[in-house]
């Protein structure tokens, strides 16, 4: 394992995640109160939506059904992504510790 692996698998994802969470916190702070469910949904959206757009592909529906399936994909993708955030954090810590121990 090289330092480039640590940068690609640990530092860059954590930096991007920290930036995204800061942006969501800033957006949610405009109203003065923070809804925890909406915060988790918006925070997890970029981490889970690409998985749900592959699983739920609307075919053979009319316009209303297609929009409904896309909305369902976005909702489930955001919730799934909020569950993936701790996984990415643990993976980054694991990669960093593995690099330090093998060194």
Q: 55-72: buried (b, 16+ CB within 10 Å) or exposed (e) per residue?
A: eeeeeeeeeeeeeeebee
Please report, for the chain, the start and end positions of each structural domain, with discontinuous segments joined by +. Answer: 1-100
Tokens of 83: 């569950």
Mind listing the pLDDT tens digit for each residue in 29-43?
Answer: 877 777 888 888 888
Distances (CA, A) of 30 to 20, 23, 33, 49, 60: 16, 11, 8, 25, 41
Q: What is the pTM for the complete model shown?
A: 0.76
Q: Is the pLDDT of residue 18 over 80?
A: yes
Mind listing the pLDDT tens digit for each residue in 60-85?
Answer: 778 888 788 888 888 888 888 898 89
């Amino acid at each position: 394992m090289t330092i480039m692996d640590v940068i690609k698998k640990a530092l860059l994802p954590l930096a991007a995640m920290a930036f995204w969470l800061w942006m969501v916190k800033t957006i949610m702070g405009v109203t003065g109160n923070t809804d925890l469910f909406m915060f988790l949904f918006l925070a997890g959206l970029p981490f889970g939506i690409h998985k749900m757009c592959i699983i739920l592909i609307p075919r053979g529906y009319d316009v209303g059904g297609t929009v409904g399936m896309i909305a369902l994909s976005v909702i489930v993708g955001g919730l799934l992504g909020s569950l993936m955030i701790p996984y990415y954090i643990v993976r980054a810590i694991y990669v960093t510790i593995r690099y330090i121990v093998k060194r």
